[in-house]
Amino acid sequence: MAAKSEGPAFETLFTTVIDYVRTVWPAIARGNTGFVCAGGTGDCQAKLESEILGASAEIKRLNEDLEESRNNKRHKIAYDEIATEANKLPTRERLSTDISAIASEIEQLEQEEEAHDAVLESLRAQYSTALDEMRRLESMSKNALSMQDLGIYMGDSGDTEGDRVGGHLSMGISPTTPHQPGESHDDFGTPIDDPMLNDDDGDHGILESRLDKSNGDEEDDIEDGEDSGHDSDRQAMDGPHSARNINDIDSEEEGEYEDEEGELTV
């Protein structure tokens, strides 16, 4: 009896479930998804599976859209960070202004450099001119000193020994050690090469001219002596005054001789 009582109860429960599936489940499905099942249980199940596959595909697509939006959001955040850092930098207009100012300064510096170069070239030209003038004056001074040094060494053939000694003493030069050409002197310095000193012909020409002058003076003295002798002979031949004239001539010659000795002894 217990078995019989369990059998109808199970069948009743199964029947209730089937009725629920047939009546309640389609209503719930229609209310939630708009699914309409007009056929039997098999058709409803097939349609339900089709709807489930479509919903899964839609869910997958939505997930992809969500991931893309997340990526876009990350990209936007990164872009905002980059834009924030970029805004801290100077703008294009400011950079253009700075570049123009730097170019103007460079041009001004180039002009100043050209002006400095021109001034430097002018100073170099002035220095070269002044240096050439100094060299010319130095050469003239050395040539003049060489000529004066040669005159001191050669002396004058007409001067007496006393005059030459006095001249040397006045010049600060010892007569026993005459200044030689080419040697250094406290007053005249060191002469450079002088054409009159280096030229053998010019040196010999000066010496020969001085010797010719001294020889000519001696010949004039001899001729004067001969003329005085002829005059004394004529006076002796002319008359009674010849003896007096001869004595006067002798006394005059002795006086001149004494004067010469006096000058020499002074």
- How is 57-72 classified by DSSP, letter by letter? HHHHHHHHHHHHHHHH
**Whole-prediction pTM:** 0.28
User: 């000058």: which residue's tokens?
Assistant: 263
pLDDT digits (tens, 9 = 90+) for 27-74: 555 555 545 555 556 677 777 778 878 888 888 888 888 889 889 999
Residue 106 pLDDT level (bands cut at 50, 70, 90): very high
Question: Which tokens belong to 149?
Answer: 């040094």
- Domain residue ranges of the chain, discontinuous segments joined by +: 105-193
Helix 25-33 vs helix 41-88: crossing angle, to nearest 10: 30
- CB burial class (10 A; 0-12, 13-18, 19+) of residue 191? buried
**Which one has a higher pLDDT value, 161 or 62?**
62
- How is 184-200 classified by DSSP, letter by letter? -BTTTB-----HHHH-H
